[in-house]
Structure 1
Amino acid sequence: MNILFLCTGNSCRSQMAEAWARQLHPDFGVWSAGVVKHGMNPNVATMMNEVGVDISAQSSKTVDDLPDVKFDYIVTLCGHASENCPFFPAQSKRVHRGFDDPPSIVKEQGLEGEEMLDVYRRVRDEIKGMVSGIPDNLSE
């Protein structure tokens, strides 16, 4: 099974989903991308390292940067990506599983220190829950 996790900038949520899927489902082909490329959010590496998941080999990319792969599932993780998802062949099933955007919440609420990190931790753990239930929870 080949899965693409798609988000706006491929800097946070989709990176977490890719990392969890690689760890929890090593038999799947897993990629992440953004509608645009924002670069890696440094807090994501910190939060994933905290639970023993190394994302140092991952990078921020767009769909155009991906290899030519037939994806079984395209999983959008935010409303913007769902609304602006690039075209994929009909055999790819699109599924939306939205999660809060930690950088936006942190900025809006002016969070720092542990309060800021707790937002990233919550979203990280929510994404792990979704990914651990794949493929069963990808049906609409």
Structure 2
Amino acid sequence: MYQTIKKVILALDINTISDARKEVLQPLINFVQEKVDADKEVNINFICTHNSRRSHLTQIWAQTVATYYNIKNVKTYSGGTEATAMFPKVAETLKNVGFKIKEISEGTNPVYAIKFDDNSHSIIGFSKKYDDEFNPVSEFAAIMTCSNADVGCPFIAGAEKRIPIMYEDPKLFDETAQQAAKYQERSLQIATEMLYVFSKINK
């Protein structure tokens, strides 16, 4: 894992997570632990309305910290109730903490290769619907990262578990002086919570 990202992870403080928030995260911990105990693949699909910001950040950080803790067979995905594009500020925010990101396809919905380690597979980032063929069709947890997706998708076909873990949308600060700081804040909040989740897993 790139040293810059390791330093970011080491600086995260899971003690800042409230007890109420830990209760929200516990079902995801339970799902991961059950799969690890059964020596099965841990498939997690993070879902938001547009698959443009929060769902990508959670997908990428979850995959990164699972690798950091050497938890095997974790595969993270993301999707939306509709496809738009991965917002460029997400890529910029991740680059700023050490991820290597390469745009491998241009257009209205660019495709990014995202790496946290030279020897790990790239995470492929682009906007897609949650049921896109790129994502798992069964035996996965659907993590609803925004209230609109949670309300708008009462049923996720193939999901073993449906777990709401909501995050405030950094889009609220687009085109303001606070934009960069708020994207960084949301990214680090997600990183901290995913670190907490995977720190609780007994291998």
Provide the TM-score with structure 1 as the length reference. Answer: 0.83
Aligned residue among 36, 49, 63 for 1:8: 49
Where in structure 2 are the equivalents of 1:108-119 lying within 5 Å? 111-112=176-177, 115-119=178-182
Superposed counterparts of 1:21-40, under 5 Å: 21-26=62-67, 27=72, 28-40=74-86
- Pick from 93, 96, 105 the counterpart of residue 47 of structure 1: 93
Q: For 1:100 and 1:127, locate their aligned partners in 2 and report how far apart those are by CA, in whole Å.
A: 11
The Cα shift of 1:136 comes to: 7.5
Partner of 2:127: 60
Structure 2: distance between partners of 1:94 and 1:84:
13
Change (3 A) 1:54 1:62: farther
Matches of 2:166 and 2:46, distance apart in 1: 11
Q: Which amino acid aligns with 2:170?
A: P
Larger Rg: 2
Q: CA deviation at 1:135?
A: 5.2
More divergent stretch after superposition (46-55 vs 8-17): 46-55
Which is worse superposed, 116-125 or 80-89? 80-89
- Deviation (angstroms), 1:30: 0.6
How far, CA to CA, are the matches of 2:78 and 2:148 in structure 1?
Answer: 15
Counterpart CA distance in 2 for 1:106 and 1:3 is: 28
Separation in 2, partners of 1:134, 1:88: 25
Match of 1:106? 173
Note the C-alpha offset of 1:62.
0.6
State the aligned residue count: 131
Identity of aligned residues (%): 27
Greater mean alpha carbon deviation, residues 127-136 or residues 14-23: 127-136
Q: Flag structure 2 segments of 5+ consecutive residues without an equivalent.
A: 1-41, 102-111, 114-124
Pick the structure with more strand per residue.
Answer: 2
Give the aligned CA root-mean-square deviation in angstroms. 2.0
Alpha-carbon displacement from aligned partner over 1:57-82 (angstroms, at most 9, x marks no partner): 21111123234442431111100111
